Structure 1
Amino acid sequence: MTLTVQPHRESVGLKAGQLYLDGQWGPGSGGETWTHLHPATGEAVGEFAVATASDVDAAVAAARKAFESGTWSNARAGVRIKLLHRYAGLLREHAEELRALQALDNSVPLSFSGSIYATSVEVAADVFDHHAGWVDKLGGQTLPPYQGGDHLAMTFREPIGVVAAILPWNAPFLLFAQKVAPALAAGCTVVLKPSEYCTFTVLRMVELLIEAGLPEGTLNVVTGPGDPVGEALITHPDVDKVSFTGSRGVGRRIIEASAGTLKRVSLELGGKSPALVFADAPNLGLAAATVVGAVTMGLSGQACVANTRALVQREVYDEFLAAAQGMAAAITYGDPFDPGVLASPLINPRQLERVLGYIEKGKEEGARLVTGGERLGGDLTAGNFVGPTIFADVDNDSTLAREEIFGPVLAVVPFTDEEEAVRLANDTEYGLGASVFSADAQRAFRVSRKLRAGTIGINGFQVEPHLPFGGFKQSGLGREGGESSIEAFTELKSVYLPLTDEMM
């Protein structure tokens, strides 16, 4: 039977996507639209407006006007707190609708978005609730005089201004929240650009934010591809900060574009995260299932922090591979609305060809293909499906081990001892995340401190709203989550006040 998502499109009530500028929904000034093709079926799901450079100008101007007016930036803490909590409640209330929209956008199965916290609507609501708690704590310091006469030395945290928030397609709930929540909590105004491959979900999240009572102009939305929409946004002279999650290539372009006006920049640029599996892992089968699941379930490896390198101690290497194969065999594909489906297709045909190219490269470089490595056919032929792929005996200097594939491909590398494991793990240009599997708590903690990565999981991995998330090395700049993300959307100001007329 031919796979189709059209009945779900109609039941969700998907409508054409528009821009949101200065409190008004409308088409792009150029009249151009983008037709979104579903990655599992190739069907046209819906259309949305493609913004022009003039539309981006209008969005930034609206955000600037709103910021300077102080309607939101100078609003009392209680006003901002209540609105952010109200919005978190609306997200929870509309969770099923939002998950369905995401399944129409990027084909992440409902089974995954309903059970895995990091890809759920609940995580977005929690992020907004968490940052609401920071609004009345954006304080500075009062410092004693260091020299001179009687005076006060004070610091204040103030909103950074107009923020360009640019989202990827793979985790709209979390990444919308990780960018928009701290920006609004700090008092900034925002111009938001969702990915062209996951727009309808984000537009509905924006509608709910408007319903929560956000003032006009505080959040503006421009839709369309990176060129021309993203380029016009990152180069705009009146944008004070760019917050971006995506590829290293675009991240480098943002740094170049920011130089002219010295924009503040936060970048999360992917990874080649290792899982270090020691022979004394408390449950080797569970460790293998966790690693393989992260690379295959849900997003099919299209996640920046997925452990795409498994470094496995030689004593348990064969046992790990056997368990990994068993986990890979259990992954199911198809209609994302089917509760029995566990994994998504690749997001578009270009990514499909890219991943298949990496698989061929792995074979050419001598890695041993244990399972998978092929595009899935049959009823799935019209989609961008690649089955779980595991390579063993991978050289840590090879392409498979060095480059971010962004697909369901796991590179398994053997190691002998702790020293070699740490060396192999750190031998990468990336440094986003890592996992350590060991029953020896001292070793697990010792190794985690030696790893050059932003988030380390010990015998598991989780994203938390109150923990900073970001990378070392070429995995990015800055952090999202917790106090560090509030700091990223504020400027620190020092104020000097003499208390007498005495000359200093």
Structure 2
Amino acid sequence: MAPQRDGQGAQARSDGRGRGVNDPAETVSGVVAQLRAGQPAWAALPVSSRVRWLARYRDWLWDNQSRLEDLLMQETGKPATEAGLEIPYVIEAINYHSRRAPRLLADRRPHPHGMLAITKRQLIVQRPYPVVGVITPWNFPLGLSLLDAVPALLAGCAVVVKPSELTPSAVSAAIAGWADIGAPRVLDVVCGGREHGAAVADSVDFIQFTGSARAGRAIAGVAAERLVPCALELGGKDAMIVLDDADVSRAANAAVWGAMANCGQMCVSVERVYVESAVYDAFVSQVAANAAELRSGVDIGPFTSPAQAAVVQRHLDDALTRGARALVGGHRSDGPTVLIDTDHDMLCMTEETFGPLLPVVRVADEDEAVRLANDSRYGLSAVVFSGDRRRAERVARRIDAGSVNINDVFANLFTLTMPQGGWKESGLGARGGSDAVAKFCRPQAIVASRVAFTRELTWYPYTPLRRAVMRCVSRLIGARDVRRRFGWR
């Protein structure tokens, strides 16, 4: 995600009205200790009981939807339509993962596979990580915080959420709802700055981080030092490829929404477009017309972080200085801007912009488009537009990104069955997907003898007879042809 989302961490309480109240960073360990104390009883509940608690929380979110959306708009400046997406998204995740959890968490008994295992009873059980730390940025405070918290809670973990210090109120208010329904204390929030995020990373058993690549490296370093797992969703510089057989009108509409939604403050925003020459002029014309119609405050809100405006302005100034032309905008960093005549010497083509700036490049063919799309240290997601499904899939398979949307944009975000993970500097591991609940568990193997002999064939004492029996039995079970099975070769 955006390079400016480095401030991660703090202990916060909610005052009951949805305002996050900072506590000293030293208190984070106390919150985690309380969560850790309550987690064993939570994990011991039947999965169906945890599902029921999530169902009650889902109903609470519906009942408080308007209040939470108002807090989102106050903190982030999102238009009402965009603020209205986060609660339904979380609720859909609750419903989906609640259906999947019983099967994913059920004990499994693998079949014996060979000579040494044939006399053993095999059992695999899922044991949750005791405390999961979810550290999230300011662009989607509720969605990103609860999207990871939900499957972790279903898995039997306790969860501490650390929202960005810029957007603590909506998250604090939403997590206060867990206490409002009388649920066990296995979900809490801590609010504050970078030192609080560091304290979370230093004390939990699994770190789920969403933020910049720079901060992600620091989190990964802490996880490596402590030997705890982490999952990182980091920055993106997502490319869109428009081929010469594409529906130009749909592609242009997708490009504008993909670049400008949430004021461009999305890790999966369309940040660069490569268009085959045959449809370039028509595409650019329609993109410019669509972008020019966007309304401030209705379609596009302000930057959540003032620092982000400076990044976008720097990218814009650099591009114009190097010869790019602005067909729309070009004066204000928070206004929709469409650039042409851009190349990979410009910051807006190589660094994550995280703002409503859309550079468009003419390419000769799909090979050049793929080469330029892959010419990035990021690999979060991408978009391909083509009227030929097989051609689009062929191109998609050549793009170095964790997700590729065909004739659509952001579609991978709304398909909860699909994992969302970045390649290269865009992350480590994945969030979501059909197995999201199992991600927060450690598989434990339990093996028991079916028959309790005084001693096993492989135990002491070693004798020629035992070795001969083992050799014979292993050939009978493991060989796949008669000659080797009976030692005739």
Q: TM-score, normalised by structure 2?
A: 0.86
Distance in 1 (alpha carbons) for counterparts of 2:308 and 2:322: 21
- Corresponding residue of 1:374: 331
- Corresponding residue of 1:415: 363
Cα pair 1:244 1:268 within 8 Å, conserved:
yes
1:458 Cα deviation after fit = 1.0
Q: How does 1:87-106 map to 2 (within 5 A)?
A: 87-106=57-76
Cα pair 1:470 1:477 within 8 Å, conserved:
yes
Q: How does 1:74-93 map to 2 (within 5 A)?
A: 74-93=44-63
Match of 2:98 among 126, 132, 135: 132
- The CA deviation string for residues 293-331 of structure 1, in whole angstroms up to 9 with x for no partner, is 22223x111000011111111111121111111111111
Cα pair 2:11 2:196 within 8 Å, conserved:
no
Identity score, percent: 34
Distance in 2 (alpha carbons) for counterparts of 1:180 and 1:162: 11
Higher helix share: 2
1:140 Cα deviation after fit = 4.4
- Corresponding residue of 2:32: 60
- Corresponding residue of 2:401: 453
Distance in 1 (alpha carbons) for counterparts of 2:200 and 2:82: 33
Match for 2:99: what amino acid?
A: G
- Corresponding residue of 1:252: 217
Distance in 1 (alpha carbons) for counterparts of 2:109 and 2:281: 61
1:46 Cα deviation after fit = 9.7
1:26 Cα deviation after fit = 6.7
1:51 Cα deviation after fit = 2.8
1:170 Cα deviation after fit = 0.9
1:86 Cα deviation after fit = 2.0
Match status 1:331 vs 2:289? no
Match of 1:295 among 253, 259, 283: 259
Cα pair 2:11 2:27 within 8 Å, conserved:
no
Cα pair 1:291 1:307 within 8 Å, conserved:
yes
Cα pair 2:382 2:403 within 8 Å, conserved:
yes
Cα pair 1:478 1:488 within 8 Å, conserved:
no
Distance in 2 (alpha carbons) for counterparts of 1:269 and 1:367: 28
Cα pair 1:309 1:412 within 8 Å, conserved:
yes
- Corresponding residue of 2:192: 224
Match for 2:263: what amino acid?
A: S
- Corresponding residue of 2:477: none
Match status 1:121 vs 2:121? no
- Corresponding residue of 1:496: 447
Q: How does 1:315-330 map to 2 (within 5 A)?
A: 315-330=278-293
- Corresponding residue of 1:11: none
Q: Secondary structure at the match of 1:447?
A: helix
Shift of the 415–19 alpha-carbon distance from structure 1 to 2, 3 Å rule, reads: same
Match status 1:108 vs 2:75? no
Distance in 1 (alpha carbons) for counterparts of 2:393 and 2:111: 40
Which structure has the bigger radius of gyration? Answer: 2
Distance in 1 (alpha carbons) for counterparts of 2:110 and 2:306: 58
Match status 1:19 vs 2:12? yes
Distance in 2 (alpha carbons) for counterparts of 1:101 and 1:233: 25
- The CA deviation string for residues 31-62 of structure 1, in whole angstroms up to 9 with x for no partner, is xxxxxxxxxxxxxx996422323211111111
Match for 1:19: what amino acid?
A: A
- The CA deviation string for residues 115-142 of structure 1, in whole angstroms up to 9 with x for no partner, is xxxx332111000111112321113431
Q: Which moved more, 1:88-97 or 1:436-445?
A: 88-97
Distance in 2 (alpha carbons) for counterparts of 1:199 and 1:366: 41
Match status 1:51 vs 2:23? yes
Q: Secondary structure at the match of 1:71?
A: helix
Q: Which moved more, 1:357-366 or 1:160-169?
A: 357-366
Distance in 1 (alpha carbons) for counterparts of 2:392 and 2:238: 16
Cα pair 2:318 2:346 within 8 Å, conserved:
no
Match status 1:200 vs 2:187? no
Distance in 2 (alpha carbons) for counterparts of 1:54 and 1:432: 35
Distance in 1 (alpha carbons) for counterparts of 2:322 and 2:280: 21
Distance in 1 (alpha carbons) for counterparts of 2:59 and 2:402: 30
- Corresponding residue of 2:482: none
Shift of the 396–174 alpha-carbon distance from structure 1 to 2, 3 Å rule, reads: same
- Corresponding residue of 1:360: 317
Match status 1:234 vs 2:201? yes
Match for 1:426: what amino acid?
A: N
- Corresponding residue of 1:176: 145
Q: Secondary structure at the match of 2:419?
A: coil
- Corresponding residue of 2:417: 466
Match of 1:209 among 165, 169, 178: 178
1:397 Cα deviation after fit = 4.4
Distance in 2 (alpha carbons) for counterparts of 1:386 and 1:312: 25
Q: Which moved more, 1:450-459 or 1:47-56?
A: 47-56
Distance in 2 (alpha carbons) for counterparts of 1:409 and 1:62: 45
Distance in 1 (alpha carbons) for counterparts of 2:19 and 2:59: 29
- The CA deviation string for residues 246-292 of structure 1, in whole angstroms up to 9 with x for no partner, is 1111100101111221111010002101111112112x122112111
Q: Secondary structure at the match of 2:124?
A: strand
Match for 1:305: what amino acid?
A: V
Distance in 1 (alpha carbons) for counterparts of 2:212 and 2:303: 16
Q: Secondary structure at the match of 1:142?
A: coil
How many residue pairs are counted as aligned between the two chains?
440
Give every structure 1 segment of 4 or more consecutive aligned residues whose post-TM-superposition deviation is greater than 6 Å. none
Q: Please list every run of 5 or more consecutive structure 2 residues that lacks an aligned counterpart in the other structure.
A: 1-9, 457-489
Cα pair 1:396 1:413 within 8 Å, conserved:
no
Cα pair 2:134 2:160 within 8 Å, conserved:
yes
Match status 1:285 vs 2:249? yes
1:408 Cα deviation after fit = 0.7
- Corresponding residue of 1:190: 159
- The CA deviation string for residues 72-123 of structure 1, in whole angstroms up to 9 with x for no partner, is 1111111111111222222223222221111011011103333xxxx33211
Cα pair 1:88 1:126 within 8 Å, conserved:
no
Q: How does 1:437-448 map to 2 (within 5 A)?
A: 437-448=385-396
Distance in 2 (alpha carbons) for counterparts of 1:292 and 1:483: 30
Distance in 2 (alpha carbons) for counterparts of 1:220 and 1:130: 22
Match of 1:430 among 378, 384, 390: 378
Cα pair 1:374 1:386 within 8 Å, conserved:
no
Distance in 2 (alpha carbons) for counterparts of 1:128 and 1:460: 25
Q: C-alpha root-mean-square deviation of aligned residues, in Å?
A: 2.1
- Corresponding residue of 1:479: 430
Q: How does 1:23-38 map to 2 (within 5 A)?
A: none
